[in-house]
């Protein structure tokens, strides 16, 4: 019985992976034969990008302050207080900034997208679009996909900047680190590839959130209960995918930029 269950779940995983990949290719291919609706794109950009700033800024500020405090407490033992800024800057730029921003977007934007599309699916609004010769991918998925690709790197950059500034304030005003040494070490050891790594990751994470959330919404079944289940699955699957993909992106980009 356990073997059959594992086999069944593995087949389900492969099937869903193929469906998500197909949706991604359809979204990319739609640019060839139809221009996206700029009105829908700007609406999604405002909903995804502008309205997510408060969540992303709060996350970046809290992460920067905590990382600064924890790094200082450990570095103070070996008299390396002024190296705190470099660790915070590199960590926020290449790892914590893009990952935490993506997870916040998954919880706020991904869940909302899945619930919205799932409700349209169970109320047969998507079938109505097909009867009007409007492809659901072109009409519903592509504007959200483009908006997330555009918003994720900008929100990540905003989170990183706020996190670094917050860490500087904590380090200088609360922990007594010399401001000049803090800034000099931070700029000396933070290289452009560190910043570029974070932006590339955020771009990929935005695509993951969009495709997974839209797929779960478009394949939703079972009425209101199915919408809730699909929303939960979208958040969980997108979050786990982000964490797993982040590991492989870190290895790949480190070899690409530093080999």
pLDDT of residue 169: 94
Mean pLDDT over 107-131 rounds to 87
Q: How high is the pLDDT of residue 198?
A: 93
What pLDDT is stored for residue 110 in this prediction?
92
Please state the separation of Cα 131 from the chain's center in Å: 34
pLDDT, residue 161, reads 94
Nearest residue to 249 via CA among 201, 192, 191: 201
Q: Which residues, in sequence order, are CB contacts of 233 under 8 Å at separation 6+?
A: 216
Instruction: Specify the pLDDT at position 250.
Output: 93
- Report the percent of the chain where pLDDT is more than 90: 51
Q: Hey, where are the domains in the chain?
A: 37-258
For residue 147, what pLDDT is reported? Answer: 92
> The whole model's pTM is what?
0.91
| Confidence category of residue 197, pLDDT binned at 50, 70, 90 | very high
CB atoms within 10 A of CB 148: 30
Residue 79 is predicted with a pLDDT of: 83
pLDDT above 70: residue 111: yes
Q: What is the pLDDT of residues 45-62, one digit of tens each?
A: 999 989 999 999 999 999
Which residue pairs, CB below 8 angstroms and at least 24 apart, start in 70-74?
Answer: 72/171, 72/175, 72/177
pLDDT for 70 equals 92
Return d(Cα 204, Cα 149) in angstroms, integer. Answer: 8
| 126-167: pLDDT as tens digits | 878 777 767 788 888 888 999 999 999 999 999 999 999 999
Give me the mean pLDDT over the 31-45 stretch: 80
């Amino acid at each position: 019985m356990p073997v059959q269950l594992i086999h069944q779940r593995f087949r389900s995983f492969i099937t869903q992976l193929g469906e998500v990949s197909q949706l991604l290719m359809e979204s990319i291919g739609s640019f060839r034969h139809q221009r996206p609706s700029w009105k829908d794109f700007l609406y999604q950009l405002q909903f995804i990008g502008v309205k997510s700033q408060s969540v992303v800024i709060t996350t970046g500020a809290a992460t920067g302050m905590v990382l600064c405090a924890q790094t200082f407490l450990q570095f103070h033992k070996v008299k390396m207080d002024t190296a705190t800024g470099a660790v915070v800057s590199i960590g926020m730029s290449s790892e914590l900034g893009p990952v935490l921003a993506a997870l916040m977007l998954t919880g706020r934007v991904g869940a909302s997208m899945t619930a919205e599309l799932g409700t349209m699916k169970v109320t047969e609004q998507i079938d109505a679009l097909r009867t009007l010769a409007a492809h659901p991918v072109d009409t519903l998925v592509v504007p959200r996909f483009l908006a997330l690709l555009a918003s994720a790197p900008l929100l990540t950059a905003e989170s990183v900047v706020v996190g670094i500034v917050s860490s500087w304030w904590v380090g200088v005003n609360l922990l007594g680190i010399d401001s000049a040494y803090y800034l000099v070490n931070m700029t000396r050891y933070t290289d452009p590839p560190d910043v570029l790594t974070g932006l590339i990751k955020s771009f990929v994470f935005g695509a993951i959130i969009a495709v997974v959330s839209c797929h779960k919404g478009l394949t939703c079944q079972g009425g209101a209960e199915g919408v809730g289940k699909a929303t939960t699955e979208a958040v969980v699957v997108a979050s786990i995918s982000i964490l797993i993909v982040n590991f492989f992106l870190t290895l790949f980009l480190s070899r690409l930029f530093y080999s």
